[in-house]
Chains A and B, each alone.
Chain A
């Protein structure tokens, strides 16, 4: 550090207090230097939720590709991703290690609702950004109370509200049967559905749950059919969703079928369920599906596909987690880029809250990222689509849902 004698005293005491050097122009905080930005992350690389590990791996590969192209404003990203096994107490442990020992600049895309719950207070006390969290819960956009936490994707709650309103508006005399996974994600959907139905909540004639580890959902589908429901709200993960679609067809049960968008993959759900059984299913999407033929010539999809071949060789491109992680990594890179040389945590949050209709690749056409100091929900729009032939057919307007 170059400095005059007079400023040395001030500089030394500042350095002693905060443990960082004061440079002439560049403003840095923990985890940033002239050559490096340290970004932390937690992902379930082990345990029952380890299917999500694809997200952590894609983000890692993305930052490697950014580094190879020269980094962000000349600085390389050091991406530190730790395994918490989807166990919240472990998340606290590894996040403290990253913040206090590894001195990360910010935490990016920590995954899981309970895991993020466990660290939110800590991150905000420490004033370390907990940015673009990977959960579908609706509580991550609360800048008044948690100015250091920001969400990313449209939340499950809002998605279910949209299904409820659509069903009420289009199905005459709706009788609703609900299938949901017995965990936080399933409950978020059911909560949203009830809110969306409002006074009409009595239209739910049957609500059944299953465990993520259950081998089949056959008995649940039979119960739903027996209830006489003519609307089927299917809030289940890919495997159970495919089984449910097939079973409903086997039973000749033909309700108006709403399927949550995490299970909207053509290759992972619609094909194994049988295209003929999946006709007419409705979902609300915000991402392009790599296995949907209508996007295969889209420029962003081609770029992504070539990127996958180079940086994630051997990965299953039908896995929507890769699309998701690619997009959010792009947004993070842009946020860091916009910080310029003022790499302070406050500035990072300011930049993250300053996106105006920003295009993130692989979002559906017309869906953009918009944030503001009071709006910490980056993606709020979804569009309904109906399965037709072997592809999703977008219909209606893009819906901008204000989250509760």
Chain B
């Protein structure tokens, strides 16, 4: 899939940095709540990017990325809660911890392909919330009660409020991570990753150390998702095992498939999609019930499901792939 055109990238970036500053002029359109919502989209986009590096670019499937997200969130939360580490220092820490966990999980996963790997990662997603509740870890993790944190404070006396600062913090992190991912994918290592995805045996024959690439990709992928988890701990200012249920992992996968497998832009679109559709599905559900006054309950999940099926029919390659096909057809016609 093609890269995002450069000149548009600058437009998007300028908008992303400029619009929140319009808050004094447009207090309703640029409300704190919306900035917070966009921050959660950014966090989701980073998590989906992590999964995309593994699934989209390296061809390994994972149904358990919620586990790495949880490990990242808890790493950040414990560092802030027990050791008073400043919030920005938790990101590299979460990245290192998650890289280690992902790498170690990647070693036995080498022997597993396709469905078997899917099941193994699925088990990981099931196990992590239980482990977080485990009584020996309770002093550290707060058990089922979770850990209450403080929101990131605005540094250097900048004239921003908490939500604006959180937004910029997430945005800058995302840009750095996407830039790094883009560079990696366009390097020798990136090509090796994709070669393994496209034809494992051929890549092996070409002299690529497939085992090492696969485990390291697992580690990097986990690190990306872990950073997203650490950001979410700061944004929500609370972690608890119930926040990291199995459905979280499925949501990342939905974001990945809907946005576009193997596309950096697709990761952003996927992140936006799942936050947006998740919220609007509920809004549509209450709208049907309260405002249209229909006498039957349509649950938010039904609407979410219908939207998903429609999208998969209309854009089987994900939103980015679908838009690309449309643009090409339009140009040709």
Q: Show the binding face of A for B, using Cβ within 8 Å.
A: 45-48, 82-83, 85-90, 92-94, 96-97, 100-101, 112-115, 117-118, 120-122, 182-184, 187
- B238 A46 Cβ-Cβ under 8 A: no
Among residues of A, the one whose C-beta sits closest to the C-beta of B241 is A114
Chain A's nearest CB lies how many Å from the CB of B246? 10
The answer to whether the Cβ of B282 comes within 8 Å of any Cβ in the partner chain is yes
Residues of B within 8 A of A97 (CB): 33, 37, 279
- B33 A101 Cβ-Cβ under 8 A: yes
Partner among A45, A46, A82, A184 whose Cβ is within 8 Å of the Cβ of B144: A184
Cα A92 to Cα B149 with chains together (Å): 13
- A114 B40 Cβ-Cβ under 8 A: no
Chain B's nearest CB lies how many Å from the CB of A86? 6
B20-32 vs A, Cβ < 8 Å mask (1 yes, 0 no): 0000000000011
- B144 A89 Cβ-Cβ under 8 A: no
Cα A113 to Cα B282 with chains together (Å): 23
- A83 B146 Cβ-Cβ under 8 A: no
Residues of A within 8 A of B301 (CB): 46
- A96 B240 Cβ-Cβ under 8 A: no
Residues of B within 8 A of A115 (CB): 242
Residues of A within 8 A of B37 (CB): 93, 97
Chosen A-B contacts, 27 in total, with CB atoms closer than 8 Å, are A45-B299, A46-B299, A46-B301, A47-B247, A48-B245, A82-B282, A85-B247, A87-B247, A88-B243, A89-B236, A90-B243, A93-B37, A100-B31, A101-B31, A101-B33, A112-B242, A113-B144, A113-B145, A114-B243, A117-B145, A117-B238, A118-B236, A118-B243, A120-B148, A182-B133, A184-B143, A184-B145
- Most chain B beta-carbon neighbours within 10 Å: one of A82, A88, A101: A88
- B144 A114 Cβ-Cβ under 8 A: yes
Residues of B within 8 A of A47 (CB): 245, 247
Partner among A48, A86, A87, A96 whose Cβ is within 8 Å of the Cβ of B33: A96
Residues of B within 8 A of A48 (CB): 245
Chain B's nearest CB lies how many Å from the CB of A117? 6
- A121 B145 Cβ-Cβ under 8 A: no
Size category, B interface: 20 to 34
Cα A115 to Cα B245 with chains together (Å): 14
Partner among A83, A87, A100, A121 whose Cβ is within 8 Å of the Cβ of B148: A121
B interface: dominant SS: helix
Q: Which 9 A-B pairs have CB atoms at the shortest separation, nearest pair first?
A: A184-B144, A100-B33, A118-B238, A114-B240, A89-B243, A89-B236, A88-B240, A114-B242, A88-B243
Given contacts A88-B240, A92-B236, A92-B238, contact A114 B33 (CB under 8 A): no
Cα A364 to Cα B282 with chains together (Å): 37
Given contacts A45-B300, A100-B31, contact A183 B148 (CB under 8 A): no
- B238 A88 Cβ-Cβ under 8 A: yes
Cα A183 to Cα B245 with chains together (Å): 14
Q: Show the binding face of B for A, using Cβ within 8 Å.
A: 31-33, 36-37, 40, 133, 143-146, 148, 232, 236-238, 240-243, 245, 247, 279, 282, 286, 299-301
Among residues of A, the one whose C-beta sits closest to the C-beta of B148 is A121
A interface: dominant SS: helix
Partner among B31, B36, B240, B245 whose Cβ is within 8 Å of the Cβ of A117: B240
> 4 more A-B contacts (CB under 8 A) besides A45-B299, A85-B247, A113-B145?
A45-B300, A87-B247, A114-B240, A118-B240
Residues of B within 8 A of A82 (CB): 282, 286
Cα A147 to Cα B14 with chains together (Å): 43
- B133 A118 Cβ-Cβ under 8 A: no
Cα A182 to Cα B232 with chains together (Å): 26
Cα A115 to Cα B146 with chains together (Å): 10
Residues of A within 8 A of B240 (CB): 88, 114, 117-118
- B300 A86 Cβ-Cβ under 8 A: no
- B237 A121 Cβ-Cβ under 8 A: yes
- B232 A89 Cβ-Cβ under 8 A: yes
Residues of A within 8 A of B36 (CB): 93, 96
Cα A89 to Cα B240 with chains together (Å): 8
Given contacts A96-B33, A114-B242, contact A88 B146 (CB under 8 A): yes
Given contacts A96-B33, A100-B31, contact A87 B40 (CB under 8 A): no
Cα A93 to Cα B148 with chains together (Å): 15
Chain A's nearest CB lies how many Å from the CB of B243? 4
Cα A101 to Cα B34 with chains together (Å): 9
Cα A118 to Cα B243 with chains together (Å): 10
Among residues of B, the one whose C-beta sits closest to the C-beta of A49 is B242
Chain B's nearest CB lies how many Å from the CB of A334? 25
Residues of B within 8 A of A46 (CB): 299-301
Cα A217 to Cα B299 with chains together (Å): 32
Partner among A86, A87, A114, A182 whose Cβ is within 8 Å of the Cβ of B145: A114
Among residues of A, the one whose C-beta sits closest to the C-beta of B147 is A117
Residues of A within 8 A of B146 (CB): 88, 114, 117-118
Residues of B within 8 A of A112 (CB): 242
Given contacts A114-B146, A184-B145, contact A83 B300 (CB under 8 A): yes
Residues of B within 8 A of A187 (CB): 143-144
Chain B's nearest CB lies how many Å from the CB of A279? 34
Given contacts A93-B37, A114-B145, contact A100 B32 (CB under 8 A): yes
Residues of B within 8 A of A114 (CB): 144-146, 240-243
Residues of A within 8 A of B247 (CB): 47, 85, 87
Cα A83 to Cα B37 with chains together (Å): 16
Cα A86 to Cα B300 with chains together (Å): 15
